[in-house]
Structure formats: structure tokens, C-alpha cells
A and B are shown apart, each in its own frame.
Chain A
Amino acid sequence: MKAQQSIENQSPGSRLPLLLIPALALTLVCLLLLVLGLSPLTIGRALASGSVGNWLKFSHVLSVWSPLLLCSCGLLFTFRAGLWNIGIEGQVILGAICCTAVLRLPGGLLPPPAVLTLALLAGGAGGGLWGILAGELRNRGGVNEIFGGLGLNFVGQGLVIWLIFGPWKRAGIASMSGTDLLPPHFWLQSPPGWRVAPVALALAVLTLAASILLLDRTRFGLRLRAAGTSPGAARLFGIEPDRISLQAMFLAGLLAGLAGGLQVTAVYHRLIPAISSGYGYLALLVVMLANYRPLAVPLIALFFACLVTGSIQLPISLQIDSSLAGVIQGACVLSALLVYGLRKEKS
């Protein structure tokens, strides 16, 4: 499966303008809303006021954006290497588990900031190793990374549920509500009036910058592209596609694991079964909609984060189910895929 070849390597001569994507998405969504008897303007206003209406709301958006961006950056590496890393969801979960494991160690040896740092590093390492596992299943076992990744997602989900109901359950309680709340000194703190931890934000922004640099300005990025575009030709230049793909899987897992660590330390302050919040799968949509281009990823991720956060206004203000936001996300991605497909055909 060569993810890039199908979409990124399109002829520059394609005539269909990319502007068609938002136009098509908007039309689809408006039509759907009208059929449902809802006013597109009212829905749009509710989504906007719930996401960018004031700083508090926008900081909620950023708390979603940070882990989503980390996952999306990770996927840029695997897509560039021609891999569909569906297993990113499991990598987020493993990162959260490893992060929690460190935070549950008997304390006292290190100051809390050092423990938090170690926990986040452990999260990254856990996600990275889970990514390598999917990569090795592909390289050595011949298991397509899509199926291997999906399988590992189920294993990760099973593992987190087992931990929450088993060794890590609250005293006298067995509940999907999750593990005990972490002590506040293990929380990534937000300043008053903020709902996002500056550390999480900084990690996301730095990761984005590093990813852009790595992908577009280094020999490693070139090798990734070569391995993803034409593994046979890459070998002629001394590049080992299998090794490169493992490195890409590790990087993607590392960033996803870090996102899982942020979910534990900055958002939920405990381990819960739905700790990934589906950001792995959502990041796949983000990167596809961004046409695999790093510069567009933070912006599309921001748009999706606005949808996730703003959609809460739908039940509060309009008594409309917030799953409508998922329909809008789907319409955007479908429109993008449709336009990319048409462009490819025409070229």
C-alpha cells in the first residue's frame, strides 16, 4: 500500500482547483442540514461561538489541538514512507499506559517535574515500541501494516481495560471511570484562565517545527520519500526501505505515545478506557485532508479541534446531537478524497 502515490504525486497539470474541496464540503453539509430542517447559519454560529468565542473556549480547542497535532505529525512520517499507520490509535493508548505506569511508581526518589518528564518520555517510548511492533509484523511477518495496526489497536484497548479493571483499579471499585486521579503535582498545570497546559502546547509546536525540518530539510526526509515512492529505486541508492519504514513507524508511535501521555497528565489526570479520544483516527483524516503536506496539518487540525470543541454548543444551545460535528468532518474528508480522485483521473 503506497499511501503517497495515490494522492500526493499528482500531476501538477490537474485542472480541478483544490478550492473545490471546501466548496463541495460546505455544499454537502448545508444540503444535509437543510434536509434535516436545520439552519446552516445557526449551526455554524453555534460551532464558532463554542470554539473561538473567547479565550477560554479557544484554550479548550488548543487542549484538543495539541495531542491531535502530535498524532498528525507522526502520521506525516509514515505516510511519507508509504505506510498506512492505522495502528496509531493503539500507539496513543500504549503511550498513555506507559506514562501512567511511571506515575504510579513509588514516589520520593525524584522531584515531581522529573517524574513527569520521565513519564512523558516513557509514553513516547511505549508508543514508539508499539509502532515498531506493527512495522516488524510488516517487515518480518508479511502482515500488512493496516491489519497489523488494527490488531494492535484491539490489543491496546484490551490492555487498558484489563489494567483499569485489574491491577490498577481503584480500591473497592471496578469501573470504566478509570484509575485513581493522579496527585495534582503530576498534572501538567494550566495558568488561571487557561484550559490548556502550556507544556502541551509547546511540545506540539516544537514537534511540528521539528517534523517540518526533518521531512523537508534533511537527508532522512529524502530517504523517507524515496522509500515511500519507489522502494526498488531506493535500494539502488543504498537505502533500505524496511529499515526506513521501521524508523518512520517508531517516530509516529513516539509522537502518538507522547500524545497519550498528554491525555493522561494534561487532560484526564488519570487513565481511562477511552484515553485516546479517537485522536489517532482523527489524525488520519487531518493528514489526508491536508494532502500530506506538513504546513497545512496544524491548520486542518485546528479546524477539527474547533469542531470537536464547538460541537458541545449544539446540545446546549440548540438541543441538537453533537455527533453532527462528525458528519461535518466526514463531509470534509469525503470532499477532499473526491476532488483528489477527480484530479488524478483528469491528469
Chain B
Amino acid sequence: MQRFLIFLFFFVLISLPAAAATQTPADDEFVFGLLMVGPANDHGWSQAHYEAGREIEKQVPGTRMIYIDKVNPADRPGITVPMLADDLIAKGARLIIGNSDDMKDGIREAAVMHPDVYFIHISGDDALTGKGSRNLSNLMGRMEYGKMMAGFVAAMTTRTGKIGYLGPLVNAETRRLAASAYLGARYAWTRVLGKPAADLHFKVTWIGFWFNIPGVTSDPTLVTRNFIDSGHDVVISGIDTTEALVVAGQARKQGKQVWAVPYDFRGACAEAPDACLGVPWFNWFPGYRILITEAKAGRWRPQFLWLGPDWKDINNPGTSAIGFIRGSALSPEAGEALTRFQQGLADGSVNLFTGPLEFADSTPFLKAGEKATDSQIWNLPQLLQGMDGN
């Protein structure tokens, strides 16, 4: 008891000035909060969001970002998304972004608790399905194009014909992205290189989450090593962190001819440039700018934004929601073919979600010549025929 009283004494002592120290935003300042599932410097998904937030501060006058990273139950036991929303709102946040599919339930709950605060849930579709409240919008990039490019360069580069896809958890988003990478690879393999589709091996292994949680998920480092040891000489990453590229870089130092395609963050290739074929990257700035500007101006309405690339310049940081930065390991021939492929995607002459396509269980997906609707792609229920995985 005596010890506790001393603890209490110190605690109260430091509590007294705390109230006075609470930072309150200026009246004309628009504070937005960012909840990131991973570390702000992960060279992947979360860092892409963090940098977009910083860019908003620079380019949208009167805005200020506050953030919390590593928002997941493994890193922050006992802490929930609604709890963190309370904290951000107490710090003046008038709009909160939850950057992970994992936060769907928490963001939905927090949005109901705080009807006067705006919420953006990245990668969800509550605003489309009507499951969310009026103060909740969704934002996502059409990364399907980026993944098609990733698959394309992988197939143009592989010497064994075996491509590994390091998948995160399994849901409609990850299925459609893995399928897009496969379709890009199959296009390069059959239409550019003229090889039979049956000779292309495309294996998907899911680790269970967006990044490694020791003892809980499969270890992405080990999964990548297994890919390489079993003859897959290109590994496409679908997870938020850079293990695939790092392991490929290490393998190259040991004399192996292997490559990787990281994901999410435009600077990701820096981890191992000599192994990097390129990186499909998210640019959250254009979407953030639309939603934050509207919220700030009092013109908020619930929206489902699924923003595509700016085909005039897919790596334009101001306008393109997704891009593809070429890696230094990409050969000039593959680079030229990629340029033609991108032109085809841009003018619509190449549409890879065109039938005939079958699902992995051999049930029909698209009839010959039929093009998939946005809804069919967004809600892809299975992987596709030709992919090895489930």
C-alpha cells in the first residue's frame, strides 16, 4: 500500500500540469489523424500513407497531421481502433484515416460513435455497400494495373518459368491483386514471349497477415527462401514489407540469379536495387486531397473512391493514384515491352480481365470476349485457373 501511495504521488504530481499542456488546434486549422497498421517507416504500405499525409500538410494549407502507427493487436495489445479514434479526436482531429482492411470493424464503430468527425477507411467498401455511416468514405487505388505490370516484368525476366507470389492474408482485395499479377505474367509469357501458358508456374503462398508477426503468421523471409530454393526465380510481393526483395538481394550476393518485385512504396527498390525489377506503388496523395479538401470545405459526402493511374504519367506524384517505378534490374528489352504493355492498358486495347477466364475450381468466370465489371473484379471470389494457390 505504501508503495502504491508513492506511485500515486508521483503520478498525480506529473498529472497536474498535464491538462495545461494539452495541445489545442487553432480555430482555422484542420487536423487529420492517420492510423497506420504498420510502422511509419516500413518502406511499404504504411510509409506510403505517412508520406502522403505529410504531402497534404504541405499542399493543402491549414492542415496538420497527427498519427499513430503499428495499430494492430499484436503491437498494441489491449488498444482498439475506437480507443485510438478517441485519442486523436481529443487532440483535435476532425477527420481520421484508417489505413488497413484490418481496421474495418473498428473504423465503422468509431464512425458511429463520432458522427461529427469524418472517417476514411482505406481499401474497404462500406460507403458502396451502405454498411457505413454518412461520415465514412472509402479510398483505394486501382492497383490491379500495377500488379499486372509486376506480373508482366516477372514473366519477362524469369528463366525458370516459375514465379512466386508472397501473399498476405486472404480476402477479395488480395485475391484480385494476385490474380492481376498472374494475368500480367500470363500476357507477357504467351503474347510477348510466345510461350505456352502451361509452362508458366505461378505459385501463391499466403502468410496470414500484411506483415510478419512472429509466432503468428508464416515468416515471409522463410517463405521467400522456400520460393527460391524450389526454383522460383522471381518473387512478387503482396505484403506490406520488403522481405521478398531483401531475401532476393541476399540470394544474388550468393550468386543466384533471382529477382523480386516489392510493393506499395515508391522507394521500396532501395532495399536491394540490383534485385529489383520495379515496384507498383500507391500514391495516396490525390485521394487524400479530394476527401480532405471536401471535408475541410464542408462539402463532405460519403464516397467510394477507386482511383486509377494518370495514364499520361503514371508516376506523377500529384495526379496518379498508382504508379510503377522501374527497377535497375529490369532489362532494356523487358523495359521496352513494358512500355508497349502500359500503352495498351492506357488505351484500353489490353484488358486482361477479359474472357475466357475460369476460377481456380474450374467454374466459369468470364465467357469468351466478356469483360469483367468493376464489381466482379472488386469482389473476386477465387483465384484464377492457372494459379497455384487457394
Contacts and interface: CB of A to CB of B under 8 A. Distances in A.
B78 A48 contact: no
Contacts of B350: none
Contact of A48 (B15, B67, B73): B15
Give the one of B15, B105, B171, B172 with max A CB within 10 A. Answer: B15
A273 B73 CA distance: 8
Interface in A245-277: 267-270, 272-277
Contacts, number: 159
Nearest to A270: B105
B209 A175 contact: yes
A175 B169 contact: yes
A187 B86 CA distance: 19
Interface stretch (A3-11, A232-240, A300-308): A300-308
Given A165-B208, A303-B7, A45 B213 contact: no
B205 to A, nearest CB: 12
B91 interface: yes
A177 interface: yes
Contact of A45 (B6, B21, B91): B21
Interface residues of A, number: 63
B222 interface: no
A54 B209 CA distance: 35
A18 B74 CA distance: 35
Contacts of A270: 105
A275 B216 CA distance: 12
B73 A22 contact: no
Interface string B137-173: 0000000000000000000000000000000011110
B372 interface: no
B86 A269 contact: no
Nearest to B88: A316
B84 interface: yes
A250 B119 CA distance: 45
A173 B77 CA distance: 23
A94 interface: no
Contacts of B84: 312
A226 interface: no
A22 B91 contact: no
B86 A316 contact: no
Contact of B74 (A60, A274, A299, A303): A274
B68 A312 contact: yes
A181 B107 CA distance: 13
A49 interface: yes
Contacts of A295: 1
Given A173-B171, A303-B4, A277 B73 contact: yes
Nearest to B17: A45
B4 A41 contact: no
Interface in A16-61: 18-19, 21-23, 26, 41, 44-50, 52-54, 56-57, 60
Listed from nearest, the 4 A-B pairs whose CB atoms lie closest are A44-B14, A175-B169, A277-B77, A49-B18
21 contacts: A19-B3, A47-B14, A48-B18, A50-B87, A53-B15, A57-B87, A60-B83, A172-B170, A172-B171, A173-B169, A173-B170, A175-B102, A175-B170, A176-B213, A267-B80, A269-B105, A275-B73, A277-B77, A303-B4, A309-B78, A316-B68
